[in-house]
A = this chain, B = another copy of it.
Amino acid sequence: MNEAWLEQIAWTPDGLVPAIVQDHASGKVLMFAWMNREALAETARSGTAVFWSRSRGRLWRKGEQSGHVQMVHEIRLDCDADCVLLRVEQAGGIACHTGRERCFYRLLDGESWRTVEPVLKDPADIYGDSGA
Protein backbone atom coordinates (compact mmCIF):
# COMPACT_ATOMS: atom_id res chain seq x y z
CA MET A 1 0.00 0.00 0.00
CA ASN A 2 2.21 2.79 -1.22
CA GLU A 3 -0.54 4.60 -3.07
CA ALA A 4 0.17 8.32 -3.33
CA TRP A 5 -3.42 9.24 -2.46
CA LEU A 6 -3.02 7.54 0.91
CA GLU A 7 0.23 9.41 1.52
CA GLN A 8 -1.60 12.71 1.17
CA ILE A 9 -3.67 12.08 4.26
CA ALA A 10 -2.65 13.76 7.48
CA TRP A 11 -2.83 10.64 9.64
CA THR A 12 -2.88 11.09 13.40
CA PRO A 13 0.20 9.94 15.35
CA ASP A 14 -1.78 6.71 15.89
CA GLY A 15 -2.15 6.30 12.13
CA LEU A 16 -5.84 7.12 11.99
CA VAL A 17 -8.14 9.54 10.21
CA PRO A 18 -11.68 10.44 11.29
CA ALA A 19 -14.45 9.44 8.89
CA ILE A 20 -17.90 10.97 8.60
CA VAL A 21 -20.55 8.77 7.02
CA GLN A 22 -23.47 10.42 5.26
CA ASP A 23 -26.46 8.86 3.53
CA HIS A 24 -26.09 9.60 -0.17
CA ALA A 25 -29.81 9.98 -0.77
CA SER A 26 -31.17 11.74 2.32
CA GLY A 27 -28.00 13.63 3.20
CA LYS A 28 -28.39 12.57 6.85
CA VAL A 29 -25.16 12.16 8.76
CA LEU A 30 -25.33 8.55 9.88
CA MET A 31 -22.23 7.95 11.99
CA PHE A 32 -18.68 8.93 12.80
CA ALA A 33 -15.80 6.48 13.03
CA TRP A 34 -12.06 6.13 12.48
CA MET A 35 -10.03 4.52 9.73
CA ASN A 36 -6.45 3.43 9.50
CA ARG A 37 -4.57 3.16 6.24
CA GLU A 38 -5.66 -0.40 5.62
CA ALA A 39 -9.32 0.40 6.33
CA LEU A 40 -9.38 3.31 3.90
CA ALA A 41 -7.52 1.38 1.21
CA GLU A 42 -9.93 -1.55 1.55
CA THR A 43 -12.93 0.81 1.53
CA ALA A 44 -11.76 2.33 -1.74
CA ARG A 45 -10.93 -1.04 -3.27
CA SER A 46 -14.04 -2.93 -2.19
CA GLY A 47 -16.62 -0.14 -2.34
CA THR A 48 -17.98 -1.02 1.10
CA ALA A 49 -17.07 0.81 4.28
CA VAL A 50 -14.32 -0.55 6.52
CA PHE A 51 -13.25 1.20 9.72
CA TRP A 52 -10.71 0.73 12.46
CA SER A 53 -12.34 -0.21 15.74
CA ARG A 54 -10.31 1.51 18.44
CA SER A 55 -12.12 -0.40 21.18
CA ARG A 56 -11.49 -3.80 19.59
CA GLY A 57 -8.14 -2.92 18.06
CA ARG A 58 -8.95 -4.45 14.70
CA LEU A 59 -10.47 -3.75 11.29
CA TRP A 60 -14.21 -3.43 11.45
CA ARG A 61 -16.00 -4.27 8.25
CA LYS A 62 -19.21 -2.36 8.84
CA GLY A 63 -22.13 -4.79 8.71
CA GLU A 64 -19.99 -7.89 9.28
CA GLN A 65 -22.32 -8.97 12.10
CA SER A 66 -25.46 -6.96 11.45
CA GLY A 67 -25.57 -7.18 7.67
CA HIS A 68 -25.90 -3.40 7.69
CA VAL A 69 -23.15 -2.81 5.18
CA GLN A 70 -22.51 0.58 3.61
CA MET A 71 -22.05 0.77 -0.15
CA VAL A 72 -19.73 3.68 -0.82
CA HIS A 73 -20.76 6.15 -3.52
CA GLU A 74 -17.97 8.64 -2.96
CA ILE A 75 -15.03 9.46 -0.72
CA ARG A 76 -14.04 13.05 -0.08
CA LEU A 77 -11.14 14.66 1.75
CA ASP A 78 -11.16 18.01 3.52
CA CYS A 79 -8.84 20.99 3.09
CA ASP A 80 -6.47 19.96 5.88
CA ALA A 81 -6.47 16.35 4.66
CA ASP A 82 -7.32 15.24 8.18
CA CYS A 83 -10.91 14.06 7.74
CA VAL A 84 -12.70 11.95 5.14
CA LEU A 85 -16.36 12.00 4.20
CA LEU A 86 -18.13 8.95 2.80
CA ARG A 87 -21.44 9.11 1.01
CA VAL A 88 -23.04 5.71 1.30
CA GLU A 89 -26.09 3.65 0.69
CA GLN A 90 -27.01 2.10 4.04
CA ALA A 91 -28.20 -1.51 3.81
CA GLY A 92 -31.23 -2.16 6.00
CA GLY A 93 -31.65 1.55 6.69
CA ILE A 94 -29.93 1.12 10.07
CA ALA A 95 -26.45 2.50 10.73
CA CYS A 96 -26.42 2.54 14.55
CA HIS A 97 -25.72 -0.41 16.82
CA THR A 98 -28.70 0.71 18.93
CA GLY A 99 -30.98 -0.26 16.04
CA ARG A 100 -31.64 3.32 14.98
CA GLU A 101 -31.30 4.78 11.50
CA ARG A 102 -28.28 6.73 12.64
CA CYS A 103 -26.04 7.40 15.60
CA PHE A 104 -26.90 11.09 15.97
CA TYR A 105 -30.24 10.47 17.64
CA ARG A 106 -29.86 12.82 20.61
CA LEU A 107 -30.74 16.48 20.23
CA LEU A 108 -29.70 19.21 22.64
CA ASP A 109 -32.96 20.57 24.02
CA GLY A 110 -32.28 23.41 26.43
CA GLU A 111 -29.81 21.81 28.80
CA SER A 112 -30.45 18.16 28.16
CA TRP A 113 -30.00 15.59 25.42
CA ARG A 114 -33.33 14.34 24.18
CA THR A 115 -33.65 11.16 22.12
CA VAL A 116 -35.51 12.07 18.96
CA GLU A 117 -35.20 9.00 16.76
CA PRO A 118 -36.86 5.63 17.28
CA VAL A 119 -35.29 2.20 17.54
CA LEU A 120 -36.23 0.52 14.27
CA LYS A 121 -35.02 -2.95 15.22
CA ASP A 122 -34.13 -4.50 18.56
CA PRO A 123 -30.34 -4.89 18.76
CA ALA A 124 -30.90 -8.42 20.08
CA ASP A 125 -32.55 -9.23 16.76
CA ILE A 126 -29.74 -7.57 14.83
CA TYR A 127 -26.79 -9.14 16.60
CA GLY A 128 -28.42 -12.19 18.16
CA ASP A 129 -28.21 -12.91 21.85
CA SER A 130 -25.72 -15.24 23.48
CA GLY A 131 -25.48 -18.44 21.52
CA ALA A 132 -28.96 -18.14 20.05
New contact pairs (16) apart from A44-B108, A77-B106, CB-CB < 8 Å: A5-B112, A5-B113, A20-B20, A20-B32, A26-B27, A29-B85, A32-B83, A75-B108, A76-B104, A76-B105, A77-B104, A78-B103, A79-B96, A79-B97, A79-B98, A83-B104
The interface on chain A, measured as residues whose beta carbon lies within 8 A of the other chain's beta carbons, has a size of 37
Q: How far is the CA of A5 from the CA of B113 in the complex (A)?
A: 7
| Chain A interface residues toward B at CB < 8 A | 3-5, 8, 18, 20, 22, 26-29, 31-32, 44, 74-80, 82-83, 85, 96-98, 100, 103-108, 111-113
Distance in Å from the Cβ of A35 to the closest Cβ of chain B?
13
Q: Interface residues of A: mostly helix, strand, loop or mixed?
A: mixed
Q: Tell me the minimal C-beta distance from A5 to chain B in angstroms.
A: 5
